[in-house]
Chain A
Amino acid sequence: MSDEENKELIYRNNRELHYGFDPEKGYVARVDYQYHGNQTIIQQGWDAAEDRLKEVSVKISAGKLSPLAWHMEKNLMELPMLSAYTGIMKWRIKRHLKPGIFKKLKPGLLGRYGSVFNITIEELKNPPIN
């Protein structure tokens, strides 16, 4: 990897084993960070998640979605997965995404959501939206 390309690297947490093919030398293996092209596509995945989170935040501020939607997006979860983790039916979760219904939820149910997201009920009700 050239120095210039190295400067562009976003993720330097861990080196991995990469296989490769050099037309001259044949097959090679080396331990290094992901090369910058791969880092770009990894970042795209996270950027898209961030954009979705912003969209949801706007909708919550406008009173169109409940805070639950923010935590789902923050944890990259969709309905079927959240349903599997909480054991709450999908149609019920859908109802809980409505602000009016979410406000009336009992602590027991809120606690179940909280434990899956690993947060308190207070945090569940008040996601950090500016």
Chain B
Amino acid sequence: MTELNFEHRQAGHCESGVTSNLLNYHKLSLSEPMAFGIGAGLFFSYLPFLKMQHAPVTSFRVWPGMVFSRTTKVLGIKTHIYRFRDPKASMDKLDEVLAQGFPVGLQVGTFHLPFFPPEYRMHYNMHNMVVYGKTDDFYLISDTVMEQKVRISYDDLMRVRFAKGAFAPRGRMYYPYSFPSSFDLKHAIIKGIRKTAGNMVRVPFPLIGTKGIRYLAKQMRQWPEKLGEDKASYYLGQVLRMEEEVGTAGAGFRFIYGTFLDEAGTFLKQDWIKEVAVEMGHTANYWRQFSYLGSRNCKKRSGPGQSFDELADMLMECADREEKIFRNLVKIR
């Protein structure tokens, strides 16, 4: 039996929360928004040719795994990241690392996650949680979504680690094991901001960043006519679920990113970043308003809600505001 002295802290987003909590265990205190910002977690992409749960994929974040790897890399922290073919081997390796005294981050699917709130048990394979110990029958889990620490049986854990489908975790496990004596947080913050800003306004591809938001807005206008009311509202609901549902900390990560900018401005002693953070906060509230009005269209058997044209206008406004914000941030030195 192993039980590490791991502090469970809830977080808005699973991967940045796991990253922050893992570092915290090793006495490196980095807030969740800091981990998210340094790991350049904010993003936007709209991928109409990819369907998930019967609707096009919209994403407000970067690929799974990037927040952890970028944050640790830029801070000079050494990590091990493993994937497995054989489920049994993945569990043996987990036991071995736990016995060495390291809490371990795991990527898992949520459909078979027994302790998860039932309303979230969909086939979502990009969830992250920490294993911090093991008893005879159970693994001890810190999941940033949950209020309390939880536990899971061997069989259940193996099952969620080898969930199938899009972004299958393939037993992915990761943990930091070696820390430099000092690191340059200033450099890390600036690098993270520049990366995100670049992703949002400098990628010459129409489905990415602020261009992607505008593309989605244009498509959205045509949905009712092209798809009919029912499907249009389902597609809209899918965008909103990606924006607001569990793990985004609200408004498609915009709140958590603004919190990061606010902390970054304080740390770097650059007041203009704090001003941009306020801008980001208002924009995040606007995204929230968009999802609030949009959600009325998603209510069953309700009359006509917000028109898709108006919602698309709001998206355009979001894109304009974010373009301004990130064109500003990209100049950071």
Asked if A and B are interacting partners, one says yes
Q: Which residues of A contact B (CB under 8 A)?
A: 10-11, 13-21, 23, 26-27, 29, 31, 34, 37-38, 40-48, 52, 75-77, 80-81, 84-85
In the bound assembly, the distance between CA atoms of A48 and B232 in angstroms comes to 13
5 further A-B contacts with Cβ under 8 Å, apart from A27-B262, A37-B244, are A19-B12, A21-B281, A41-B245, A48-B237, A80-B165
Please give, as numbers and ranges, the residues of chain B lying within 8 Å of A80 by CB-CB distance: 165
Verify if B285 is at the interface (C-beta below 8 Å from A). yes
What 0/1 pattern do residues 274 to 309 of B give for CB contact below 8 A with A?
000110111011000001101110111000000000
When A31-B10, A37-B295, A41-B244 are in contact, do A19 and B249 touch as well, CB less than 8 Å? yes
Q: How far is the CB of B137 from chain A (nearest CB, A)?
A: 19
Size band of the B side of the interface? 35 or more
When A14-B146, A17-B11, A21-B285 are in contact, do A45 and B255 touch as well, CB less than 8 Å? no
Please give, as numbers and ranges, the residues of chain B lying within 8 Å of A26 by CB-CB distance: 262, 278, 281
Contact of A19 among B238, B244, B256 (CB under 8 A): B256
Please give, as numbers and ranges, the residues of chain B lying within 8 Å of A45 by CB-CB distance: 53, 122, 237-238, 241
Contact of B259 among A10, A19, A23 (CB under 8 A): A19
Please give, as numbers and ranges, the residues of chain A lying within 8 Å of B117 by CB-CB distance: 11, 13-14
In the bound assembly, the distance between CA atoms of A18 and B32 in angstroms comes to 12
Q: Is the interface of A mostly helix, strand, loop or mixed?
A: mixed
In the bound assembly, the distance between CA atoms of A80 and B165 in angstroms comes to 7
Verify if B145 is at the interface (C-beta below 8 Å from A). yes
**CB interface residues, B 140-173, toward A, < 8 Å:** 144-147, 164-165, 168
Verify if B138 is at the interface (C-beta below 8 Å from A). no
5 closest Cβ pairs, A-B complex = A21-B281, A84-B164, A19-B255, A13-B117, A44-B298
Q: Is the CB of A14 within 8 A of B295?
A: no
Contact of B291 among A20, A37, A84 (CB under 8 A): A37
- Report the nearest B residue to A47, measured CB to CB: B300
In the bound assembly, the distance between CA atoms of A52 and B231 in angstroms comes to 13
Please give, as numbers and ranges, the residues of chain A lying within 8 Å of B291 by CB-CB distance: 37-38, 41
Verify if B250 is at the interface (C-beta below 8 Å from A). yes
Please give, as numbers and ranges, the residues of chain A lying within 8 Å of B145 by CB-CB distance: 14, 16
Verify if B25 is at the interface (C-beta below 8 Å from A). no
Specify which of A11, A29, A43, A47 lies most central, judged by the most chain B CB atoms within 10 Å of its CB. A29
7 A-B pairs (CB sep. < 8 Å)? A27-B262, A27-B277, A31-B10, A40-B298, A45-B122, A45-B237, A52-B54
Please give, as numbers and ranges, the residues of chain A lying within 8 Å of B165 by CB-CB distance: 80-81, 84
Verify if B258 is at the interface (C-beta below 8 Å from A). yes
Please give, as numbers and ranges, the residues of chain A lying within 8 Å of B164 by CB-CB distance: 81, 84-85
Q: Is the CB of B258 within 8 A of A44?
A: no
In the bound assembly, the distance between CA atoms of A52 and B165 in angstroms comes to 20
In the bound assembly, the distance between CA atoms of A116 and B259 in angstroms comes to 42
When A18-B249, A31-B10 are in contact, do A84 and B168 touch as well, CB less than 8 Å? yes
Q: Is the CB of A76 within 8 A of B237?
A: no
When A17-B249, A21-B285, A26-B281 are in contact, do A42 and B119 touch as well, CB less than 8 Å? yes
In the bound assembly, the distance between CA atoms of A84 and B169 in angstroms comes to 13
Verify if B223 is at the interface (C-beta below 8 Å from A). no
Please give, as numbers and ranges, the residues of chain A lying within 8 Å of B282 by CB-CB distance: 21, 23
In the bound assembly, the distance between CA atoms of A87 and B246 in angstroms comes to 31
Please give, as numbers and ranges, the residues of chain A lying within 8 Å of B298 by CB-CB distance: 40-41, 44
